[in-house]
């Protein structure tokens, strides 16, 4: 059995519903899969003495799950004051409209098409619902609209799909771009170095206790994959599917379609930087 402390980011262990930090509670959605890992983590965030909570990523359109989130909020003596989205993929955002109906809350997101209410989210915004301090950190790359949320009081960051609790994420080309993703990882690394962030509360998988270690692992992984893709192209593998077969041969074939999205993003990046011929 592998020691969790030896794994990238020091994952906490099994993914469970319940408290993760002093201000963050997870409600795990019942949508496990190869892409969603154990399921979507729906995060409830609130100040300990507040009667209002912020819910991040209500998850799929599943009434049982949405009501379980509301029940968890109400059991804590609170009500939902605001709903936020890290990005628009259905496993995070599909249930947002229904959740807003059930709670009477607004939904704030970067993508205007996902908002319910007039206010969006952008760099420098600070959520203060119920006395909470939650800072918006743009982290595009997985998707163009990806955001993370810095929770300074808990020295934590909620990363959506930008950093997962296990494995690595997909750069969902063409919406996601690798250059943006690398910049986002560096932005998150600065939170660990300059702002003391040590805990990652991901959109999927277990909580990570070593945020800086997780970011460094992701950056190293991307550099390694880029080198592999460049080598594959030099060896004559020209199409994205050919590159996937060469580079991801040891990966479950059910994940190859997702891997191809990342390969397309990598090929675009290498071409733009003059490292391969388009």
* Predicted confidence (pLDDT) at residue 149 exceeds the cutoff of 60: yes
Query: Pick from 93, 34, 272: which is nearest to 173 by CA?
Result: 272
Mean pLDDT is lowest, of 94-108, 110-124, 208-222, for: 110-124
Q: Is residue 153 a contact partner of residue 22, using CB atoms and an 8 Å limit?
A: yes
CA 152 to chain centre: 18
> Quick one: pLDDT band at residue 277, thresholds 50, 70, 90?
confident
* Predicted confidence (pLDDT) at residue 278 exceeds the cutoff of 90: no
Distance CA 10, CA 18 (A): 19
Distance CA 200, CA 188 (A): 10
pLDDT tens for 172-208 read 999 999 999 999 999 999 999 999 999 999 999 999 9
Distance CA 212, CA 188 (A): 8
pLDDT tens for 223-263 read 999 999 999 999 999 899 999 999 999 889 999 999 999 99
Under 8 Å CB-to-CB from 56, ≥6 apart: which residues?
42, 43, 44, 45, 83, 84, 85, 86, 149, 158
Q: What's the pTM value of the predicted model, to 2 decimals?
A: 0.95
- What does 6-44 look like in DSSP terms, one character per residue? GSTT-B-SS--SEESSSSEEEEE-S--BTTTBT-BEEEE
- For residue 5, the model assigns a pLDDT of 64
Q: Which helix (H) or strand (E) holds 114?
A: none
Structural domains of the chain sorted by starting position, each given as residue range(s) with its CATH number in brackets: 16-271 (3.60.15.10)
Q: Look over the chain and give the mean of its residue pLDDT values, rounded to a whole number.
A: 96
At 193, list the tokens.
């170095």
Distance CA 220, CA 218 (A): 5
Count the alpha carbons within 13 Å of 32 in the hemisphere toward its beta carbon: 6
The alpha-carbon radius of gyration of the chain (Å, integer) is 19
């Amino acid at each position: 059995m592998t020691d969790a402390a030896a794994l990238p980011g020091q994952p906490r262990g099994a993914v469970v519903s319940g408290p993760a930090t002093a201000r963050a509670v997870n409600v795990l959605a019942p949508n496990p899969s190869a892409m969603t890992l154990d399921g979507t983590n729906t995060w409830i965030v609130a100040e300990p003495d507040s009667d209002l909570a912020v819910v991040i990523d209500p998850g799929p359109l599943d009434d049982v799950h949405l009501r379980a989130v509301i029940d968890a909020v109400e059991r804590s003596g609170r009500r939902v004051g605001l709903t936020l989205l890290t990005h628009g993929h259905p496993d995070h955002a599909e249930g947002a409209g229904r959740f807003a109906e059930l709670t009477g809350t607004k939904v704030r997101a970067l993508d205007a098409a996902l908002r319910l209410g007039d206010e969006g989210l952008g760099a420098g915004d600070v959520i203060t619902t119920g006395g909470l301090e939650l800072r918006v950190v743009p982290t595009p790359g997985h998707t163009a609209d990806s955001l993370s949320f810095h929770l300074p009081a808990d020295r934590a960051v909620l990363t959506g799909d930008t950093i997962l609790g296990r494995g690595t994420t997909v750069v969902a080309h063409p919406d996601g771009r690798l250059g943006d993703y690398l910049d986002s990882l560096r932005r998150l690394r600065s939170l660990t170095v300059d702002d003391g962030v040590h805990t990652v509360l991901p959109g999927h998988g277990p909580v990570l206790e070593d945020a800086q270690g997780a970011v460094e692992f992701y950056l190293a992984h991307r550099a390694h994959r880029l080198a592999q893709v460049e080598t594959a192209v030099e060896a004559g593998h020209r199409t994205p599917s050919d590159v996937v077969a060469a580079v991801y041969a040891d990966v479950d074939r059910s994940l190859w379609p997702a891997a191809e999205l990342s390969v397309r993003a990598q090929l675009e990046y290498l071409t733009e930087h003059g490292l391969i011929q388009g």
